[in-house]
């Protein structure tokens, strides 16, 4: 009896060992893709020089290791075991704050003021932006600056352990808001608004397992952004109206974009997400302006919700002033046009409004060179 049990166990182990080879050559079951960025070792061609130097053997070993059958499942299993038994995470080993809040530490550093660029640097940039705004105004165009929420300000009591206890200093966000108020730049402080709503709204505005505002939070902010555009441009626009909300535990889009790269079998933690169904209040009196949006990835949630398509006659998203997204080249298309390949001045001349959107984490590189380029275009002599 004992020999039969041992034999059965040996057969089971042998079958398990053969599964990766079988899946690689007979892919009857497809593994789910891993999230995040992974380098896969390329295959190596045979040559006698590679053979005698040992390069061929090492290259083949690495290639087969990276392309073994069920590799994504084996990685997920390994990471789940290490997290469940040893509380170890691979992707963000030191980025878990209290209450399971996951961090990209740059958002916490922005809250603490560790990335502060100084008053003079921020002031110089914003003075240029103000002159650009005034110039666009004379051309019957508008400009609005949006301060998107920053996770550090929303979860100040849940910072990663290595940043807990560090005294908070002056921040780029606070300096930016104060200067914009003093010199008259049109701005929206969504960061402050989200913080004020944190303890009063029953739905999730900023996910614990995500970098960005929630899809639901972005939908709320879109309506406020449109009202600001109406006030600045003196027009009436279509308004998004949330007529139904689906609540679920499974995250969509970027709501767990820090949780997904952990590549665990089971969710890192439980959260209740809200996903709105949106309709639009439209009539003959409402206008859809041509708008250029410039900024970081906090605009992507509005693209996901199709906000620009429904409130703008034409729209473009100049992501960090490097590439262009629009209805023909949405955010999931890798080969979108590059800024260097388009006539951005011509597009600027045709637009009705320019909207800059940045979270505090990206204020050290605020403007993404758009401000410098536009200022050089409108003021070639520097004054």
Last residue of a domain, one of 59, 86, 113: 86
**Residue found under tokens 């302006």:** 289
Q: Name the CA radius of gyration of the chain, rounded.
A: 26
- For residue 84, what pLDDT is reported? 80
218 close to 176: Cβ distance less than 8 angstroms? no
Backbone angles phi, psi at 290, to 5 degrees: -85, 120
The string of pLDDT tens digits covering residues 325-352 is: 998 888 777 688 999 999 999 999 999 9
In a domain, 383, yes or no: no
Domain carrying residue 31: 2-86
The string of pLDDT tens digits covering residues 123-142 is: 999 999 999 999 999 999 99
Gap between the Cα atoms of 265 and 252, Å rounded: 17
Q: What is the DSSP letter of 338?
A: B
Residue ranges in the chain assigned as alpha helix (H): 2-25, 48-53, 55-66, 71-86, 105-112, 119-138, 151-154, 172-183, 190-197, 215-233, 300-304, 307-311, 344-350, 370-378
Q: What share of the chain is helix, strand, coil (3-state, %, to 5)?
A: 45, 15, 40
Is there a single domain that holds both residue 19 and residue 141? no
In a domain, 329, yes or no: yes
State the total domains in the chain.
2
Is there a single domain that holds both residue 256 and residue 319? yes
Nearest to 123 by CA among 180, 173, 169, 189: 180
Is there a single domain that holds both residue 41 and residue 121? no
Is pLDDT of 35 > 60? yes
Give 130-136's long-range contacts (Cβ < 8 A, gap of 24+): 130/183, 130/184, 130/185, 131/375, 131/378, 131/379, 132/371, 132/374, 132/375, 132/378, 133/185, 133/186, 135/378, 136/354
Gap between the Cα atoms of 370 and 365, Å rounded: 11
The string of pLDDT tens digits covering residues 241-275 is: 999 999 999 999 999 999 998 888 888 899 999 99
Is there a single domain that holds both residue 176 and residue 317? yes
44 close to 85: Cβ distance less than 8 angstroms? no
In a domain, 306, yes or no: yes
Give the global pTM.
0.85
In a domain, 91, yes or no: no
Gap between the Cα atoms of 292 and 294, Å rounded: 7
Could you tell me which residues come within 8 angstroms of residue 234 by beta carbon, excluding any fewer than 6 positions away? none
Is there a single domain that holds both residue 179 and residue 327? yes
Is there a single domain that holds both residue 43 and residue 139? no
For residue 28, the SS3 value is coil
Is there a single domain that holds both residue 53 and residue 127? no
The string of pLDDT tens digits covering residues 141-200 is: 999 999 999 999 999 999 999 999 999 999 999 999 999 999 999 999 999 999 999 999
The string of pLDDT tens digits covering residues 52-103 is: 666 656 655 555 555 555 677 777 877 888 888 888 887 665 689 999 999 9
């Amino acid at each position: 009896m004992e020999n039969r049990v041992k034999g059965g166990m040996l057969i089971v182990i042998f079958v398990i060992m053969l599964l990766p080879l079988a899946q690689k050559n007979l892919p009857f079951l497809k593994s789910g893709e891993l999230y995040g960025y992974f380098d896969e070792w390329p295959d190596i061609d045979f040559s006698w020089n590679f053979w005698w130097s040992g390069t061929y053997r090492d290259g083949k070993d690495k290639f087969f290791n990276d392309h073994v059958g069920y590799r994504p499942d084996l990685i997920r299993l390994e990471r789940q075991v290490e997290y469940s038994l040893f509380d170890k995470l691979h992707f963000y080993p030191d980025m878990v704050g209290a209450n399971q809040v996951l961090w990209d530490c740059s958002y916490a550093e922005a809250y603490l003021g560790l990335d502060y660029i100084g008053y003079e640097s921020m002031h110089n940039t914003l003075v240029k932006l103000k002159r650009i705004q005034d110039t666009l105004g004379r051309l019957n165009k508008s400009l609005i600056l949006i301060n998107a929420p920053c996770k550090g300000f929303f979860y100040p009591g849940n910072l990663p352990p290595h940043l807990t206890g560090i005294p908070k200093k002056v921040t780029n966000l606070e300096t930016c808001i104060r200067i914009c108020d003093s010199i008259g730049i049109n701005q929206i402080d969504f960061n402050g608004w989200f913080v004020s709503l944190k303890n009063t709204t029953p739905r999730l505005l900023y996910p614990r397992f995500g970098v960005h505002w929630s899809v639901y939070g972005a939908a709320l902010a879109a309506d406020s952004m449109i009202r600001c555009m109406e006030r600045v441009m003196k027009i009436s626009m279509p308004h998004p109206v949330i007529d139904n909300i689906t609540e679920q535990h499974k995250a969509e889009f970027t709501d767990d974009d820090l949780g997904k790269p952990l590549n665990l079998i089971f969710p890192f933690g439980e959260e209740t997400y809200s996903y709105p169904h949106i309709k639009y209040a439209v009539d003959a009196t409402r206008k859809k302006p041509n708008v250029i949006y410039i900024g970081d990835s906090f605009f992507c949630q509005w693209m996901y919700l199709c906000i620009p398509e429904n409130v703008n006659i034409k729209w473009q998203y100049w992501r960090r002033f490097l590439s262009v997204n629009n209805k023909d080249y949405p955010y999931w298309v890798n080969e979108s046009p590059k800024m260097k390949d388009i006539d951005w001045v011509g597009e600027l001349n045709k637009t009705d409004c320019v909207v800059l959107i940045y979270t505090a984490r990206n204020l050290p590189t605020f403007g993404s060179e758009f401000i410098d380029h536009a200022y050089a275009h409108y003021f070639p002599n520097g004054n």
